[in-house]
Amino acid sequence: MLCLAAGAVAAALAIDSFTLTWIHSIEKIRWEEDWRIEAGALVLTEARIRGTGAGMEPPAGAVLKNGIWHYRPQLPPQSVLRLSHSPHAGGYTLCTATLCQPLADLLPGIAPQVVIEARACETPDSAATRRASLPME
C-alpha cells in the first residue's frame, strides 16, 4: 500500500507498484520511473526519458527503444520520496496498471509550493514486528 501526504492532507492507495511521470520544466520532455513497494520501502525498478536535452543525457547503459531511453537506475530502496508540487512546473502523475491521475488530484486541497511525500504504508503487521524488535527497557 502506498501512502501520500502533503501537509495535513493524506491518502492511502491499495497498490504495490506504480509509475511516476513528469514533464521536465525547461526541456518539456517526459520522464517516467517505475516503482515497487518491497519490504516497507520504495524500490526504483526502471526509468525512461522520452528524449534528451541540456543536462538530460541518458546514463551509461541506457538503451534507445522507439525514441525512448530505458535504463535501470542504481538507487538503493527509499523510505520516502519527496516531490515538489509547484505552480511553476508541471505536476507529477501517478499511474497504476489501470489508471493515470495527477498526483495533486489524489490529495485534494493541497497548497502550492508544498512537498508531497510518498512512502510505503505501515501495516499493522510491520508495526508489530518493529515493536517486537525494539529493546525492552
C-alpha dihedral sign at 82, 87, 88, 91:
positive
pLDDT at 133 over 50: no
Q: What is the pLDDT of residue 111?
A: 79
Tell whether the model's pLDDT for residue 122 goes beyond 80.
yes
How far apart CA 9 and CA 17 sit, in angstroms, is 22
The pTM of the full predicted model, rounded to 2 decimals, is 0.83
- pLDDT score of 28 more than 60: yes
Yes or no: say if 20 and 106 are a contact pair by the CB < 8 Å rule.
no
Q: Which of 55-59, 87-91, 113-117 has the lowest mean pLDDT?
A: 87-91
Element (H, E) at 44: strand 41-49
- Check residue 125 and give its pLDDT: 53
Q: All 3 cell numbers of residue 119? A: 512512502
